[in-house]
Amino acid sequence: MGPLVGGFAAQAKGWTWTIWELVWISGFALVVLFFLLPETSSTNILYRRTKRLRKTTGNSKLICQPELMSESMTGKDIAMMILVRPITLNFLEPMVFLLNLYIALIYGLLYIWFESSPIVFVQIYGMRTIYLSREHQS
């Protein structure tokens, strides 16, 4: 559906209109996922549980392991964790690496297919990108 809708939008409103369509769809998906997807990070769940226990018991001395770890972390530690962890996960876990290769292959094939379709059908076969009714044809 994407190339079809994007083709009509690009022909009618210009190529920037397709970007706005993606922004709207992505924004809608973000809002839906934000409200309907539960939290799965164990550290975040533990932190929220500790926070809830502090509130219900009134004991402000309750502290959890993620809070202890965050107090001792520096900006360099956080940056290294954010930048190095995905790279090491990608190259040290064979399944993650193979899945990334597969996704890259599929993305490349789709890109070539979507880019070559207008060349083949418009330039070689002389078709139009959008069917025009008889009133709009000259």
- Which tens digits make up the pLDDT trace of 103-136? 999 999 999 988 888 788 888 888 876 655 455 5
Task: Please provide residue 8's backbone torsions phi and psi, each rounded to the nearest 5 degrees.
Answer: -65, -40
Cα Rg, the chain, nearest whole Å: 25
Q: pTM of whole model > 0.75? A: no
* 101/50 same-domain check: no
Contacts of 91 (CB under 8 A, 6+ apart): 97
35 or 115: which leads in pLDDT: 35
In the numeric block, which tokens belong to residue 64? 């959890």
Q: How far apart are CA 72 and CA 29, in angstroms?
A: 36
Question: Which pLDDT value is given to residue 133?
Answer: 45
| Same domain? 55 vs 91 | no
Range(s) of the domain holding residue 33:
1-37
**Domains: count for the chain:** 3
Q: What is the mean pLDDT of residues 78-97?
A: 93
Q: What is the mean predicted confidence (pLDDT) over 91-97?
A: 96
Confidence of residue 10 (pLDDT cuts 50, 70, 90): confident
**Same domain (yes/no): 101, 123:** yes
DSSP state of 58: -
